[in-house]
Amino acid sequence: MKKITKLFCAGLAMIAFAGNALAQDPIFCHTDEMVRRSLDLNPALRSEYLAEQARLEAADAEAFRNGYRENTTREMEMPPVYTIPVVFHILHQNGPENISDAQILDQVRILNEDYRKLNADISAVVPSFTGVTADCEIEFRLAKKDPSGNCTNGIDRIFTPLTNAADDGSKLNPWPRNKYLNVWVVKTIGTAGVAGYAYLPGTAFPTATDGILILSSYIGSIGTGNPTTSRALTHEIGHFLNLQHTWGNTNNPGVACGNDGVTDTPNTKGHTSCPLSDATCTAGVIENVQNFMEYSYCSNMFTAGQKTRMRAALNATAGQRNQLWTTSNLTATGVSTPAVLCLADFASDNATNTVCQGNSLTFSDLSWNGNPTSWSWSFPGGTPSTSTDSVPVVQYNTPGIYDVTLTVSNASGSVNTTKTNYVTVNSNTASFSGSIYQEGFESTTVPGTGWVVRNQSPGGNTWVQTSSAGATGSKSVMITNLSTAGAYVDELIGPSIDMTAIAGSAPTMTFKTAYAQRTSTDADKLQLYVSTNCGISWTLRKSMTGAALTSGGVVTGSFVPTATQWTNQTANLAGYTSQDNLYFMFRFTSDGGNNIYIDDINISGTTGIAEDATSSGFNIYPNPIDENTVVDFSLGSKQDVNVKVLDVLGREIITLFDGSLNEGDHQFAIGEQSKLSAGVYFVKVTMNGKAYTKKLIVN
């Protein structure tokens, strides 16, 4: 039996995973700190929590003596299966953390298999525990009605920078905890090495933080998830339903033998690997390494005692868990009502909904709640232009931007939706073919004449043409970033260029920027990308962030650059001389700074005597280093290449590459791979025995 005085460490359970297996170096008792903070804020909550744990431990002992058989009268009163409505709040910035509906549905499937003992790997449970594996008779359903009674698919997408370094302050738009299990899905968590956490019943303070916070890469077994980490949410919901780790109330496995207040889970130190025959704590007693509340990477079961404890939590007032599964709540959340079509929705098989002229997109129905029996699609600009297929494939032969309309029907009725400007079809022939490309925005309309503005984030300002400032002349393109508070992403896509027509060798793009910060810590980012496949995917060519981008210093009012506040920028395009349809794009990510301007874009090549092809365009940018810094160079032919980072004494610090590379442009990320202390370093690139060196600054 547990010592109740130790339970302060169990309220907020965090799990730490690494790669496809659980971490070898778990976070040590950060849960204890979080629970102490929560309970210290409300001493009355602490008293209630401790009293409930004492009651549960006594009930477990009694249930164990009775073979975990529930009282017959109670069985008649309690539903055989508890159904819990769930809402997933997806916090994102339009990156991979904005996981698909399919990935979320896959996670719900996994939860229901794990909690109903339907998981395929239940057959792998070792003989010592086959007799106590439990069908917990708990199921999870995505909500069909939101707190206002409106149609929902149980997925709440929120664009916010709080998806980064997330904590309780990131738990936006909480739905009432007595009606829904809230799951917040984020990009990163503020405590390093943590994949997720959940409050035990009655420990969340304030109550709006009750629920689960978890990494997007630990949801489901598809998309950004994987089969191993997909059990993380099973683990966290165990905590939500009052289960501790099998070794007890710490986040520190492998240190001391302990138990979890459940009699049929043997004493254990806990595991970060999978020694199935381990019997460290009690001689001759195999430990339950495969338990879902372990840190092993082979978890596949709950025990009968854990089932009893979770079902007791669902019948207790602590954390209002007893209200989740009631008939009235299942009706209010739409979980128990017949499936009725309430909203038409769809997606294409390309995240950007962009294709080259002559290529195809495949569309999938994502309509909410009801199961459609018929589909009616409209594809202006596409072939076919209409379809009744559930998964139509549409070819687009003419460049342009097109709408898509879907109507779905079943016995409950019909719903429809139109997504305007949904499909972008780019030409497979360059819109500019000349020896030098120049754009000063004096006689060009933006958007228009080959220029596309794409606002990746809802709300906020985006790229516009202005006549109030220009590096040359009076016009440029700009974003009024002064009034933007969040991390908005805005893209400006230029016309495609026939690079084979650019005169000279080693072509470069030059352009001018003007930008000011509002405070010295603002880290707004401007990046230049190019695409060789009509904008379906993009390659980074230049990145400037914060002070490295700043030309106007710190300005608290609306920044309008003077003639001296424009900065010349250069990007190497030497590796794209053979591309006859190259697209380029400026992407601006706001971080609370001031306005940004771009003018005088030029693409040209070096004339006269050509450079040695082996050294063409060797560059390091940004420099001084940040997380986007890359080593960039081009090869005129296949060569043996070695890329190293050296200290000032010439000693090797990092080898970025050592092998053979084909002709073309090559980049090696250094900012995201190295943790260099402040100082001066050198990047040495050796090509077929000839070495080139450039200085690298680390501030």
Tell me the C-alpha distance between 478 and 505, whole Å. 31
- Domain assignment of residue 235, given as a range: 4-332
| Domain end call among 332, 354, 371 | 332
* Same domain assignment for residues 213 and 86: yes
Q: Report the CATH number at residue 391.
A: 2.60.40.10
Q: What is the DSSP letter of 660?
A: E
Same domain (yes/no): 409, 462: no
Q: What are the φ and ψ backbone dihedral angles of 265, each rounded to 5 degrees?
A: -105, 110
CA-wise closest residue to 293 among 342, 352, 236, 252: 236
Say which residue the tokens 């139509």 belong to: 392
Quick one: 528 and 669 in the same domain? Answer: no
- CA angle, residues 151, 155, 161, in degrees to nearest 5: 130
CATH number at residue 133: 3.40.390.10
**Looking at the structure, do residues 606 and 617 belong to the same domain, yes or no?**
no
For 224, phi then psi, to 5°, come to -80, -5
Look at the chain and report how many structural domains it folds into: 4
Q: Extract the tokens encoding 439.
A: 């754009």
From residue 582, alpha-carbon distances to 86, 504, 585, 656 in Å are 46, 17, 10, 28
Residues 545 and 678 in one domain: no
**pLDDT digit string (tens) for 404-424?**
999 999 998 999 999 999 999
Q: CA angle 166-170-174, nearest 5°?
A: 140
User: CA-CA distance, 588 to 515, in Å (whole number)?
Assistant: 11
Q: CB within 8 A of 306, min separation 6: which ones?
A: 134, 136, 238, 243, 262, 265, 291, 293
Q: Give the number of other Cβ atoms within 10 Å of residue 695's Cβ.
A: 11
- Which strands form 690-698's sheet, in the order they lie side by side? 652-661, 639-646, 679-687, 690-698
User: Cα separation of 154 and 132, whole Å?
Assistant: 34
The confidence score (pLDDT) of residue 205 equals: 85
User: Contact at 8 Å (CB) between 21 and 42?
Assistant: no
Residue 384, preceding peptide bond in cis (omega within 30° of 0): yes
Q: Which of 162, 243, 233, 190 is nearest to 34 (CA)?
A: 190
Residues 601 and 684 reside in one and the same domain = no
Q: CATH number of the domain at 691, please.
A: 2.60.40.2360
What are the structure tokens assigned to 300, written together?
């596949």
- Based on the domain organization, do 403 and 276 belong to the same domain? no
How many other C-beta atoms lie within 10 A of the C-beta of residue 248?
24
Do 511 and 649 fall within a single domain? Answer: no
**Whole-number pLDDT of residue 694:** 80
Same domain, 438 and 411: no
pLDDT at 622: 75
Across 220-269, the runs of DSSP E, i.e. the strands, are none
CB atoms within 10 A of CB 230: 21
Which residues are annotated as catalytic? 236
Residue 216: C-alpha distances to residues 91, 95, 155 (Å): 9, 11, 13
Burial 647-663 (b: 16+ CB within 10 A, else e): eeeeeeeeebeeeebee
Amino acid identity of residue 646, one-letter, is: L
| Burial per residue of 344-378, b for 16 or more beta-carbon CB atoms within 10 angstroms, e otherwise | bbbbbebeebbbbbebbbebebbbbbbebeebbbb
pTM: 0.76
In this prediction, the residues of the chain whose per-residue pLDDT falls under 50 are 1-32, 70-76, 607-615
CA distance 143 to 325: 12
Which residue in this structure is represented by tokens 């590379």? Answer: 661
CATH number at residue 502: 2.60.120.200
DSSP for 346-373 reads: EEESSTT-EEETT-EEEEEE--EES--S
Q: Based on the domain organization, do 302 and 414 belong to the same domain? A: no
Please give the DSSP secondary-structure letter assigned to residue 645.
Answer: E
Pair (69, 217) in one structural domain? yes
Q: What 3-state class would DSSP assign to 37? A: helix
CA gyration radius, the chain: 29
Same domain, 649 and 518: no
Q: Which residues in 628-678 belong to E strands, given as ranges?
A: 630-635, 639-646, 652-661, 664-669
At which of 593, 610, 627 does a domain end?
Answer: 610
Judge whether 480 and 487 are in contact, CB under 8 Å. no
Last residue of a domain, one of 405, 426, 447: 426
The pLDDT score that the predictor gives to residue 166 is 93
What number of other Cβ atoms are within 10 A of residue 476's Cβ?
27
- Residue 189, judged by CB atoms within 10 A of its CB (0-12, 13-18, 19+), counts as buried
